Amino acid sequence: MDVGDRIRILRERKGLSQKHLAYKLGIPNQSLSNYERGFREAPAEVLRKIADFFGVSVDYLLGRESIVYDRNSPKDLKELLEHGTFLYDNVTLDDQDIEQIRRMLEYIVDYKKKAMEAEKKLSD
C-alpha cells in the first residue's frame, strides 16, 4: 500500500470527495488526484497538512506505521476500535472487520466479568 492508497482510504472513511478535501487542504484538486493515483509524490508540506487534517502521523502516510489512531492517544482498545484505521500485514481492515473484532472483544469481556462474579460469589 502506498501513500496515495492511504490518503484515499482516509478520505473515503471520512466521506469526503477529492474536491472537498483538496479545498480543505488548500491545494488543487488535480494535485490531490495525482497523489492518490501515485502519478506525483506529495511534497513534505502537503503530507503534513494531510496528516494534521486526518489526525495521523506522516509516518503512517509513508507506510512506516501500520496502525493509525487519533492523535489524542486513545486510552484503551475500545476507543482505538472506535476511531482507528487498522492495517495488518499490509491489509486494511475495513469497518466490517473492525465490527467483528469489537463483537469478539465484547464477548470475551462479558465472559471474563461473569467468571469474576462467579469467583467472587464462591469466595464470599
- pLDDT, residue 91, reads 65
Q: By C-alpha distance, which of 101, 106, 73, 108 is closest to 86?
A: 101
- pLDDT, residue 78, reads 60
pTM of the model: 0.57
Q: Could you report the per-residue pLDDT of 71-109, keeping only the tens digit for each?
A: 444 445 665 565 555 665 556 677 788 778 878 888 998
Query: For residue 27, is pLDDT > 90?
Result: yes
User: CA–CA separation, 49 vs 27, rounded Å?
Assistant: 10
Mean pLDDT of the chain: 82
Handedness of CA 79, 21, 31, 36 (dihedral sign): positive
CATH number 2.60.40.1930 given to 3-66: no
Q: What are phi and psi of 85, to 5 degrees?
A: -115, 130
Residue type, 52: D
Residue 124: helix, strand or coil by DSSP? coil
- DSSP code for 67: E
Contact yes or no for 86/92 (Cβ under 8 A): yes
**Number of CB atoms found within 10 A of residue 57's CB:** 16
